[in-house]
Chain A
């Protein structure tokens, strides 16, 4: 028994030499085309491509971790992963808790999506948004009644089953849903909120932030970032 306990303790405090530069990239995996889980069960999307390329340039070994949106910041600061790369807009409130790199995706408009033919009162109606997004904050202040959901998916269903009159989300997320709904959904309004999208990093992790900033700059300079934006968001998307 003593032997077992001792060897368990030894294993617990064992030093492994193979912990070089592995960076765990936290993402939501439920917000196409920013990030999603493809049919092979792997993380895919714009941010997967950007993240992988950043890691190559920064010479880091990266692995992808899925975490629900709700707890994505708490789990970053408690060290479950090292970055948030999940379509997170840079805002002052978030900046108080975590740090952001420079933006790797320029500001793009948010869209109200409702059922086609419906007359939506954007300032007095019931608007759905995903919890803890800039859109949720905007709706709360716009005078409309805000209904929040944990995932973007559920905000769409809320509109579909009449619980909400419209949903406010990133235009790039809603674009393909509107286009492929066969005329069921329609764009009923647009607003410009929020700055660009940046990578969230722990405030105590200044080195990683500097490394990623440098890698993003290099991708901006040689146009490879713009190429990826066009690949995932179409040729009309805002670029750098």
Chain B
């Protein structure tokens, strides 16, 4: 990266260290921090959307929606997360490729499943084999994002459902007395008041989401844990910067990163709780 780093074998001390931590490989490590933060910030609203839809469906007056919503919440909460993290991206990917195969290569008569192999024609690959690396990365990231949103959505849905039922009935009845329609009561009273009941549960989920990001590597995305392991491992003379097992240092950095992230989130959640509790008949935000 820097001209005086051209020959690492001749470097010593701090300059060696400086050149070492600015290699292209280390840059990938630093970028992966952004990838993880990006995943969290995108997965949270997505999970919120899934959760909101799930909660609304559970409260719906239409029986089909109610069943769908309840199945979604119960299924995700009952089955180990890792099954869904592995299943959703693979199933979606193969479903997309199967569809594209049927549409783009109708002339191919061979079966898509041949023994162990899942074979679609070259044009149906998603992304195409010839697509550049970032397209593959972006596609993998999007699938992972969907999986995170879908799984965390179910938990969020349950939290929101509980929060909606926790709003004092008297508040809703007051709305009725004012002549609000059910929709107005939902929008103007229930939705406004439920947040303070939902916040503790949501902050829990946010923390769990932060800690779940290393699952990204399972989905083929090179995340911070992957790079920490890869960079920290023993490096022999075939590498330009040989060093013994330094994984403890790299994992130390991750520890600080995750602690900082959770600490900052907690500060934000405390503030939010205080703001949303103003004028509410709860003890939230009053204790400290």
Task: Name A residues whose Cβ lies closer than 8 Å to a Cβ of B.
Answer: 12-13, 15-16, 18-20, 22-24, 29-30, 32-33, 36-41, 44-45, 61, 63, 65-68, 75, 77-80, 82, 97-98, 151, 153, 156-157, 160, 176-177, 180, 202-205
Contact = CB atoms under 8 A, between A and B. Distances in A.
A33 B238 CA distance: 7
A150 to B, nearest CB: 10
Contacts, number: 109
A79 B125 contact: yes
Interface in B226-264: 229-230, 233-234, 236-242, 245, 247
A218 to B, nearest CB: 24
A41 B28 contact: yes
Interface string B141-162: 0000000000000000000000
B286 to A, nearest CB: 45
B279 interface: no
Given A32-B236, A40-B25, A18 B129 contact: no
16 contacts: A12-B100, A13-B103, A15-B104, A16-B128, A22-B128, A22-B129, A30-B233, A32-B239, A39-B8, A68-B217, A77-B117, A151-B233, A153-B234, A180-B237, A180-B242, A202-B117
Contacts of B115: 203-204
A176 B237 contact: yes
B17 to A, nearest CB: 14
A13 B128 CA distance: 12
A67 B8 CA distance: 29
A229 B28 CA distance: 30
Given A79-B120, A80-B220, A37 B25 contact: yes
Nearest to B241: A39
User: Does more than half of chain A's interface fall in helix, strand or loop, or is it mixed?
Assistant: loop
Contact of B129 (A24, A36, A202): A24
Contact of B104 (A13, A97, A153, A202): A13
B23 A40 contact: yes
B245 A157 contact: yes
Q: What 10 A-B pairs come out closest when comparing CB atoms?
A: A22-B130, A153-B233, A176-B236, A22-B129, A41-B25, A39-B23, A204-B117, A41-B24, A40-B24, A77-B116
B239 A176 contact: no
Given A38-B240, A40-B24, A78 B94 contact: yes
Given A78-B118, A157-B245, A19 B128 contact: yes
Contacts of A44: 238
B53 interface: no
A237 to B, nearest CB: 15
Given A19-B128, A38-B240, A41-B25, A66 B103 contact: no
Contacts of A153: 229, 233-234
Given A19-B128, A77-B117, A78-B94, A177 B234 contact: yes
B116 A63 contact: no
